[in-house]
């Protein structure tokens, strides 16, 4: 089996997000309250857990406020820089590591739900 998923109880409206903006919401994922990074690019919304792979800290410098440099997301703790496609660290102390991506599902009314996906391989 390639993936398993669990349903979050926290939902947001995609159209409440600004294009090319990074924000954060609190969501319950796998029974745990988590901060989720959201990045909207056009009609697509990407989501990752707000946990840096370097030292496990939040990436924002204040709730929902993120540093950016040359289009990349920069962790406020020690400066790791992440590209916004896959969430891979491209510079800094965890270069090559990746943010944990969440699957984003959208209902007919534009409400978003987040799901974890784990690979068995």
> Out of 35, 64, 93, 106, which residue is the one contacting ligand FES (CB under 6 A)?
93
CA dist 53 and 104 (Å) reads 21
Furthest C-alpha separation in the chain = 41
CA dist 5 and 7 (Å) reads 7
> Out of 65, 68, 78, 103, which residue is the one contacting ligand FES (CB under 6 A)?
78
Site membership for ligand FES, residue 75 (CB under 6 A): yes
The contact mask relative to ligand FES for 41-60 (x = CB under 6 A, - = no) is -----------x-xx-x---
Write out the residues near ligand FES by the rule CB under 6 A: 52, 54-55, 57, 75, 77-80, 92-93
């Amino acid at each position: 089996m390639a993936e398993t998923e669990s349903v979050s109880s926290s939902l947001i409206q995609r159209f409440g997000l600004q294009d090319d903006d990074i924000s954060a919401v609190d969501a319950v994922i796998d029974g745990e309250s988590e901060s989720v990074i959201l990045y909207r690019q056009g009609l697509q919304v990407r989501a990752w857990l707000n946990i840096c792979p370097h030292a496990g800290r939040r990436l924002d410098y204040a709730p929902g406020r993120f540093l950016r440099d040359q289009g990349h997301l920069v962790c406020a703790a020690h400066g790791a820089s992440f590209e916004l496609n896959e969430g891979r660290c491209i510079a800094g102390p965890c270069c090559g590591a990746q943010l944990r991506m969440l699957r984003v599902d959208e209902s007919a009314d534009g409400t978003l739900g987040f799901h974890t996906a784990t690979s068995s391989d």
